[in-house]
Amino acid sequence: MNGSYYKTPVFINDFERDTNTPETFSIGEYNKQYPMEQSYIENILRNNIGKKVRVHASFSDSNEWRDRIFVGIIEHAGRDNLIINDIDNGKYYLILMIYVDFVEFDEEITYAK
């Protein structure tokens, strides 16, 4: 092995990097072009905190809980989880988003605020 298998990385020096920067624009211009919150599922669920939902979830590795429906009020929506409060039995459920198939709402969905 003569060391020629891996090539030496090439780095752009600071002068070249400064001259090749893309044009920037202010936050105000950004808001005109793009919505501040994109339509990720957690943002849509966050906009609907306090609403009653049915969360359909699938747990493929479980024989006991293969497909499950959780009914309750949205308490919190994170990037990878959802907390709902089942008002009928007083239980809180922390559901990981990887198991959520879809969410049903009994009222109109607030898509963006």
So where are the chain's domains? 14-105
**H or E element that contains 32:** helix 27-33
For residue 82 the two structure tokens come to 């959802």
We find that the CATH architecture of domain 14-105 is Roll (2.30)
Q: What sign does the dihedral 23-29-32-36 (CA atoms) show?
A: positive
Reported pTM? 0.64
Max Cα distance, the chain (Å):
72
As a whole number of angstroms, the distance between CA 34 and CA 103 comes to 26
Residue-wise pLDDT tens for the chain (113 aa)? Answer: 455 555 666 655 544 555 555 555 444 444 444 455 566 899 999 999 999 999 999 999 888 889 999 999 999 999 999 999 999 999 999 999 999 999 999 999 998 87
